[in-house]
């Protein structure tokens, strides 16, 4: 097993050292496809978006694993202690952009397929391992294309995202909107002749922030309260000495189950009024929750036990693995939220390191995840 573990580490280091911003995944796609073929996958295909899908087995139950190969960028490289695009392995930890979100999960899932073959854990199932593209810019787009190419509806999906080895049965949805306040342009030396759109936007931004207090007074769902934030603001202007006639800001709105795109849009329009334009700049991503008694969740818990993770990963005194909800959004908003395919989340890595400077992941957690992912297909196919 030592060679197996070393090969997995080398694969992860290669992926992290290969930049793969959204829509620029071609190089890492080739790496993943090559590794799957080397590990003996029964078939390996790459679609036009750059998503790679490897198949293990040919049984009745269709299981899809999905982890994404694209990453966010780097805002300020000076905040990094290492080169974000040159993986570093030190004291059992891999550092670099995408190590935690989400190439650690990709490595775990890819190598679980190899372990299934190595240990003879095949059964009446077909496992598809998807290393999908463009998740960071549009959750669901890459995986939607993967599913269309597969041409069938999987019996279940496991979303590989950092969960700190906890089983996840749902998460919040997401809405991204743009609000543009208007004004009247004029020379900055005579501001009274114009109307500053930035000044018009400021009270709107403050009112958006006040919505968070309103949300705390709502009846709390299992997913908690909705959350709203203004994440960017700016004006398009002819020069720095011109009063701007426009000011746009971007809103990230985290939704809970039952909320609709129309509800969120109307909420923003009510605050901003007729002097501002409100529009969706991305698709509305639905929140979702898998019922606590669902058979998929029971199979996941049993797989966790079979993988031998209990003594090392459970809470002290607990008889079951931790089952939690994610506060962020993943491809699960498409598979479960939109398509209603039973889905759970599970992966190595701590969420707090995703999208941050000095992103990192413990390699031992990747090895633990491989055990879970390799135990699940046979367990699920026998139990369901």
Q: What would the DSSP string read from start to end of 175-243?
A: EEEEEEEE-B-EETT-GGGSB-HHHHHHHHHHHHHHHHHHHHTSPPBTTB--EEEEEEEE---S-TTEE
If asked whether residues 93 and 25 sit together in one domain, one would say: yes
Residue 12: how many other CB atoms lie within 10 Å:
26
Same domain, 299 and 319: yes
CATH number of the domain at 180, please. Answer: 3.30.70.360
Q: What's the token pair of residue 7?
A: 């090969």
Do 142 and 241 lie in one domain? The reply is no
Same domain, 181 and 263: yes
Q: Which pLDDT belongs to residue 316?
A: 46
Residues 69 and 142 in one domain: yes
Structural domain boundaries enclosing 273: 173-280
At 112, which CATH number? 3.40.630.10
Radius of gyration of the chain (CA): 23
CB-based contacts of 193, cutoff 8 Å, min separation 6: 186, 187
Domain edge (last residue) among 257, 280, 303: 280
Q: What is the pLDDT of residue 317?
A: 46
Model confidence pLDDT, tens digit, residues 115-127: 999 999 999 999 9
Same domain, 28 and 93: yes
Do 309 and 368 meet the contact criterion of CB atoms below 8 Å apart? yes
pLDDT at res. 319: 58
Which residue among 280, 301, 326 closes a domain?
280
| pLDDT reported for residue 384 | 74
The pLDDT value given to residue 366: 98
List b or e across 93-111, with b for residues whose CB sees 16 or more CB atoms inside 10 angstroms. ebbbbbbbbbbbbbbbbbb
Residues 56 and 156 in one domain: yes
Alpha-carbon span 349 to 172, nearest angstrom: 19
Token pair 């059992």 in the structure block, residue: 92
Low-confidence ranges of the chain (pLDDT < 50): 312-317
Same domain, 21 and 73: yes
The proportion of the chain whose per-residue pLDDT surpasses 90, expressed as a percent, equals 91
DSSP 41-75: -SEEEE-TTS-EEEEEE--SEEEEEEEE--B---S
Number of domains comprising the chain: 2
How many angstroms separate the CA atoms of 294 and 213, rounded?
Answer: 34
Asked whether residue 137 falls in the same domain as residue 40, the answer is yes
Report the candidate in 196, 190, 198, 200 with the shortest Cα–Cα distance to residue 243.
Answer: 196
Against a cut of 0.85, is the pTM above it? yes
Among 4, 40, 31, 162, CA closest to 94: 162
Residues in the chain: 384
Q: Report the sign of the C-alpha dihedral through residues 104, 321, 293, 258, in that order.
A: negative
Domain boundary among 249, 280, 311: 280
Within this chain, do residues 32 and 93 fall inside the same structural domain, yes or no?
Answer: yes
Residues 292 and 247 in one domain: no
Q: Tell whether 105 and 17 lie within a shared domain.
A: yes
């Amino acid at each position: 097993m030592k060679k197996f573990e070393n090969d997995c580490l080398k694969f992860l280091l290669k992926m992290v050292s290969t930049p793969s911003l959204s829509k620029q995944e071609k190089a890492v796609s080739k790496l993943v496809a090559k590794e799957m073929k080397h590990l003996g996958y029964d078939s390996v295909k790459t679609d036009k978006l750059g998503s790679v899908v490897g198949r293990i087995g040919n049984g009745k139950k269709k299981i899809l694993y999905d982890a994404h190969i694209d990453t966010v960028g780097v805002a300020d490289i000076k905040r990094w202690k290492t080169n974000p695009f040159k993986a570093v392995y030190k004291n059992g930890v891999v550092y670099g952009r995408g190590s935690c979100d989400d190439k650690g999960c990709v490595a775990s899932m890819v190598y679980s397929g190899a372990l299934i073959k190595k240990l003879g854990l095949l059964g009446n199932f077909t496992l598809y391992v998807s290393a999908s593209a463009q998740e960071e810019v549009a959750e669901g787009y890459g995986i939607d294309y993967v599913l269309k190419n597969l041409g069938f509806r999987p019996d279940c999906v496991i979303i590989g995202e950092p969960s700190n080895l906890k089983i996840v049965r749902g998460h919040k949805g997401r809405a991204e909107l743009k609000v543009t306040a208007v004004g009247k342009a004029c020379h900055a030396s005579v501001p009274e002749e114009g109307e500053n759109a930035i000044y018009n936007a400021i009270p709107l931004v403050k009112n958006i922030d006040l919505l968070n207090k309103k949300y705390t007074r709502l009846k709390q769902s299992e997913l908690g309260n909705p959350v709203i934030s203004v994440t960017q603001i700016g004006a398009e202007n002819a020069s720095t000495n011109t009063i701007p006639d426009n000011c746009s800001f971007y809103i990230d709105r985290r939704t809970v189950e039952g909320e609709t795109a129309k509800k969120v849009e109307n909420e923003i329009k009510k605050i901003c009024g007729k002097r501002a334009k409100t529009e969706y700049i991305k698709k509305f991503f639905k929140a979702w929750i898998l019922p606590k008694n669902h058979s998929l969740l029971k199979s996941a818990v049993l797989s966790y036990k079979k993988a031998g993770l209990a003594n090392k990963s459970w809470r002290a005194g607990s008889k079951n693995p931790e089952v939690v909800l994610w506060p962020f959004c993943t491809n699960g908003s498409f598979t479960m939220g939109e398509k209603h395919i039973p889905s759970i989340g599970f992966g190595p890595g701590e969420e707090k390191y995703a999208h941050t400077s000095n992103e990192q992941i413990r390699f031992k957690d990747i090895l633990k995840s491989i055990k879970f992912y390799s135990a699940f297909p046979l367990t699920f196919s026998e139990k369901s």
